[in-house]
Amino acid sequence: MDVRNSSELEIGGEHGHHHKKEVAVTVDGRTHHVPEGAYVVSQFKKLVGVDPSKELDEVVHGELKPLDDNHTIHIKGGEVFISHARQGGSS
């Protein structure tokens, strides 16, 4: 069988064919495997099982970087996140 024609290879190629590779991220000490790419923070929280009422911070160079639920993050693999109760903004 001659398989040089690449268009034949793509027909029905959905099984086992991933457009984005899965990468490992750590959320609250637990490893999750998610497709790499861009996520709105609120959707990413849902994907990795973080309660929507909690805030999500990314650990960057040992410091916590707060993430707004409406901002977009880019997952490449190896990111570390910590969720926590929202801080009261009123004084």
Read off the tokens for 90.
């009123």
* CB-CB contact of 32 with 25 (8 Å): yes
pTM for the full predicted model: 0.74
pLDDT tens figures, 22-55: 999 999 999 999 999 999 999 999 999 999 999 9
pLDDT higher than 60, residue 79: yes
Tell me the domain boundaries of the chain: 19-85
Q: Give residue 89's pLDDT.
A: 60
Domain 19-85 part of CATH 3.90.550.10:
no
- Give the containing element (helix H, strand E) for 41: helix 41-48
